A and B are shown apart, each in its own frame.
Chain A
């Protein structure tokens, strides 16, 4: 068969078109590829488009370089270069620059390659530098490397002799505890010091009960740790977070036991914060008034309170706690308001006004607990009480003030002498003070 010339021409033209298409495609693709390789897109967070080469970077530059520069360089550097940097930082003269270099370098290396970081730290001869490197590693260690770091800390870290704000040995355990409390328990048991009765920190048990109640309970059972009040208390705290109704039921069932006092308080405080209705039911379900008094005391005494302006926490401002307490029968909370008044960060006048607002049936009991705010001066505390119009309440408050003021006695005497009082009034105030001074101090608080 002979093809006609027009068909041949058409086939030839189609071939040309196809060839041109693929050539064009190839050329364009090649152009784009070469452009991508030459100019990498700058990351959103890195201001510099050019990446520093590891050869151009010294470990001592860590203070001036951005993290990204250093990290990228570290990532691209061969092991030899990393070793060189480790050696460089160790050889630097002592001073802030070395501190910065050691800290910056090991913060990076522990994240990038924990095994190499730990190996490198082990090789540091200068104990101060080694301690610094370990501290930096604790600060930045990723979760999966904490176990190894804890081991090397236990072996090599030397607690500083002078002042320090931080205990790095405890901090590494603290971080690990949030991740794997069971592993921490094993670690602390293995690293038990001679004569150490309870090597496992209580907060480890608390965390463990929170994340794996069954395993924590088995550990407590197997070692008969229920007899240790600290561990039992920690376990119950974690249990409360894990399974609140069950923990509450357990504590209620054991509320009369002497060493459950703190747990009863912890549960009450937790419920007060999480669910006030449940807190009320918990109080009602306690076996007797004595236990209720104990519960209020354990829950709300010896706690540091802050005003909401300082802490951002509304529920634990002194006034919020006090207002909730006085809704219950006074037998439960009588004597418990002293701490709250004392921790108030408000001017004395505010708590005095609050006392004046209380219903008559509890006002005396509230006033008897009055304690001036710890930061108030004698003059301010006295001035606030003297403004109370009700003479009976004023005398009650004056007695409470003289009894519990933490101001030096001479300051109080001076405040009385300078207060805008008539001679008769001043004599009365001084008489009250003399009477209070002559009385013995408060004895131990009776819980029942």
Chain B
């Protein structure tokens, strides 16, 4: 049997050594435990960083967001709620954002691409407008760039218009679409002074259509300031600028706008502003229209009335529903003014009314006082068209004053043909009695009326 081992050192020393080892193990274990947390944190950081992939990885990554279980690519961005998109766009690197923009450029043209580009830039301009601007600047596909620009100029936060305007001023092909003017329109609604300053420091060749956009807003927000800005530089005094200033001024202070318009009526390029102001009043405030017309020189008032008649009867594309005042209402307003102002124009308006509702128009003529009725009917005859010629002749024959009647109907029948011969033949074909035909031949004017 072997002997028990013989201790080499004393028990006290042994206890001391064990104590030291225990302390060492405790410290070592503690530090080792801490280190394992650091080690676990490293892969976590990597995972966090993967939300900001490198340029190479970005260009390969088509996935924008995991929606439920399915990954959604940037091409389907229009279906992603903004709250989800915001976090994704906010955490993505600049390279990734630009890579997504490039991917959108590669989509086949059409509604899907437009929707995706629109949604992407609408969101991006809010989350990181500098990235959005950079993406637009580096776009190769010009058509897509236009869609992106439209989205930017719609959805941009109100605080970045100036920066956006500066950036877009550097883009090539500024005349594509109307983005330049749209931006000025939006910006000037919230800061017309800064917008005006930008226009001043960024002149454009040719007609500056930005002036119209600026002054439509500025004229409403602070007309005196807008007026002073226009007055300060003749190059700003374009026809568009005047009409935008005066008509938008009238939206907030009609009396002041009218006074300004009347005081400047003879300036170059100003006439259109008064025309438009008058038509706006006719549509919205007849009493103000009457006041304006009565304060204008008679010849000028006649010209304005012609504009009102034109606006009432012309087919103008792009006007909102209900913009044009009905012809019957305009005719009724016209005859409240001196006849010399409307005698040249009311025929166009009443012809329009007659074309829609002959019975109401005839009834209205017949309740007018004789002098006004004759003047209105004479003008009505002048603008007769071939569709209703017999009815117009019938009405014309009821003009009380013989001289007025002869002239009105004489012009009407002369206009039935290019030559006198043609006009005479046309009289023969009219569905009126022989006596009336004989009368019409007798009074027919020598020359065609150019209306």
Chain B residues positioned under 8 Å from A26 (CB to CB)? 33
Q: Nearest Cβ in chain B — how far from A396, in angstroms?
A: 31
**Chain B residues in 8 Å Cβ range of A17:** 25-26, 28-29
The reply on A359 being an interface residue by CB < 8 A is: no
A44 touches B93 (CB 8 A): yes
Q: Give complex CA distance A67, B181 in Å.
A: 24
Let me know if B29 and A165 touch, CB within 8 A: no
Kindly supply a per-residue 1/0 record for chain B positions 252-285, scoring 1 wherever the CB is within 8 Å of any chain A CB and 0 otherwise. 0000000000000000000000000000100110
- When distances are taken between beta carbons in the complex, the residues of chain A under 8 Å from B38 are 28
What B residues does A18 contact at CB under 8 A? 29
Given contacts A100-B190, A178-B115, A313-B142, contact A163 B83 (CB under 8 A): no
B residues less than 8 Å from A99 (CB atoms):
189-190, 221
Q: Are B190 and A103 in contact (CB-based, < 8 A)?
A: yes
Checking A27, A28, A140, A311 against B122 with a beta-carbon cut-off of 8 angstroms, the contacting residue is A140
Q: In this assembly, does A20 line the interface, its C-beta being within 8 Å of a C-beta of chain B?
A: yes
**Does A103 lie within 8 Å of B158, measured CB to CB?**
yes
Whether A25 contacts B36 in the complex (CB less than 8 A), given A16-B25, A67-B157, A95-B221, comes out as yes
Which residue on A lies nearest to B87, using beta carbons?
A: A43
Of chain B, the residue at the smallest CB distance from A210 is B110
Contact status A25-B37, CB under 8 Å: yes
Residues in chain A near residue B159, CB distance under 8 A: 62-67, 104
- Provide the residues of chain B in CB contact with A52, threshold 8 Å: none
The residues of B that contact A70 with a CB separation of less than 8 Å are 157
> Is there an interface contact between B29 and A107, defined as CB atoms closer than 8 Å?
no
- Bound CA–CA A29/B40 (angstroms): 10
Minimum C-beta distance from A17 to chain B (A)? 4
A76 to chain B, nearest CB (A): 12
User: In angstroms, how far is the closest chain B Cβ from the Cβ of A164?
Assistant: 7
Q: Does A354 contact B (CB under 8 A)?
A: no
Pick from B91, B128, B158, B247: contact of A104, CB below 8 A.
B158
Contacting residues, chain A, for B157 (C-beta < 8 A): 62, 66-67, 70, 104, 107
Indicate whether A162 reaches chain B with its CB closer than 8 angstroms: yes
Residue of B nearest to A165 (CB): B185
B314 at the interface (CB under 8 A from A): no
CB distance from A69 to the nearest CB of B (A): 10
Q: In this assembly, does A193 line the interface, its C-beta being within 8 Å of a C-beta of chain B?
A: yes
Q: Are A20 and B27 in contact (CB under 8 A)?
A: yes
Contact call A21/B29, Cβ cutoff below 8 A: yes
How close is B344's CB to chain A, nearest CB, in angstroms?
Answer: 25
B119 interface residue per 8 A CB criterion: yes
Pick from A112, A175, A181, A193 the residue with the most CB of B within 10 Å.
Answer: A175
Chain B residues in 8 Å Cβ range of A29:
37
Kindly identify which residue among A143, A241, A310 contacts B79, using a CB–CB cutoff of 8 Å: A143
Q: Which of B7-42 contact A (CB under 8 A)?
A: 18, 21-22, 25-34, 36-38, 41
B126 lies within 8 A of A159 (CB): no
Instruction: Given A112-B83, A161-B283, A178-B118, verify A24-B247 contact (CB < 8 Å).
Output: no
Contact A16 B22 (CB under 8 A): yes
Is A322 part of the binding interface, using a Cβ–Cβ cutoff of 8 Å? no
Give the Cβ gap from B85 to chain A, nearest Cβ, in Å: 8
Q: Nearest residue in B to A175 (C-beta to C-beta)? A: B118
| Residue pair A312, B21 in contact (C-beta under 8 Å) | no
Cβ-based interface call for B404 (8 A): no
Bound complex: CA of A333 vs CA of B213, how far in Å?
A: 41
Query: Is B172 in the interface zone, CB < 8 Å from A?
Result: yes
In chain B, residues 311-325, which have Cβ atoms closer than 8 Å to a Cβ of chain A? 318, 320-323
Q: A103-B190, A311-B173 are in contact. Are A162 and B126 (CB under 8 A)?
A: no
Is A55 part of the contact surface with B, judged by Cβ < 8 Å? Answer: no
Total chain B interface residues with beta-carbon distance under 8 A: 78
Contact A45 B158 (CB under 8 A): no
Q: Is A289 in the interface zone, CB < 8 Å from B?
A: no
Q: Does B347 contact A (CB under 8 A)?
A: no
Does A142 interact with chain B (Cβ within 8 Å)? yes
Is B109 engaged at the interface, CB distance under 8 Å to the other chain?
A: yes
What number of A-B contacts does a CB cutoff of 8 Å give? 209
Report which of B115, B128, B172 forms a contact with A143, defined as CB distance below 8 A.
Answer: B115
Instruction: Determine how close the nearest CB of chain A comes to the CB of B175; give it in whole angstroms.
Output: 5
Q: State whether B247 touches A163 (Cβ < 8 A).
A: yes
Pick from B27, B131, B248: contact of A163, CB below 8 A: B248
A207 touches B176 (CB 8 A): no
A291 at the interface (CB under 8 A from B): no
Contact with B along A164-184 (1 / 0, CB 8 A): 111100000001011101000
A165→B123 CA distance, assembly (Å): 23
Distance between Cα atoms of A138 and B154 in the complex (Å): 8
Evaluate contact between A142 and B81: CB separation under 8 angstroms: yes
Report whether B189 and A96 are in contact in the complex, using a CB–CB cutoff of 8 Å: yes
**Considering the chains assembled together, what is the distance between the CA atoms of A160 and B251 in angstroms?**
11
A92 within 8 Å of B by Cβ?
no
Cα distance, A144 to B78, chains bound together (Å): 7
Centre residue among A20, A32, A64, A210 by max chain B CB count within 10 A: A20
Q: Are B29 and A178 in contact (CB under 8 A)?
A: no
Within 8 A of A (CB), among B44-83: 52, 78-79, 81-83
Q: Is the CB of B86 within 8 A of A211?
A: no
Which residue from A20, A45, A111, A167 sits with its C-beta under 8 Å from B29? A20
Q: Would you call B396 an interface residue if the criterion is a C-beta within 8 Å of the partner chain's C-beta atoms?
A: no
Residues of B within 8 A of A142 (CB): 78, 81-82, 119, 122-123
B142 to chain A, nearest CB (A): 4
Instruction: Fill in one digit per residue for A203-232: 1 if any B CB lies within 8 Å of its CB, else 0.
Output: 000010011000000000000000000000
Minimum distance in angstroms from A219 CB to a CB of chain B: 16
> In chain A, what residue has the closest Cβ to B243?
A163
Task: Verify if B192 is at the interface (C-beta below 8 Å from A).
Answer: yes
B155 to chain A, nearest CB (A): 4
Q: Does the CB pair B26–A162 fall under 8 Å?
A: no
Apart from A20-B25, A107-B158, A306-B175, 7 more pairs, CB < 8 Å: A13-B25, A19-B26, A20-B28, A20-B30, A43-B90, A67-B157, A310-B175
Question: Closest 6 A-B residue pairs measured CB to CB?
Answer: A24-B33, A20-B29, A25-B33, A24-B30, A159-B320, A17-B25
Taking Cβ atoms with an 8 Å cutoff, the residues of A that contact B are: 9, 12-14, 16-29, 32, 43-46, 62-68, 70-71, 75, 95-97, 99-100, 103-104, 107-108, 111-112, 138-140, 142-144, 159-167, 175, 177-179, 181, 193, 207, 210-211, 241, 306, 309-313
Jot down 5 A-B pairs with beta carbons below 8 A, ordered by A.
Answer: A17-B26, A23-B29, A62-B157, A67-B159, A96-B191
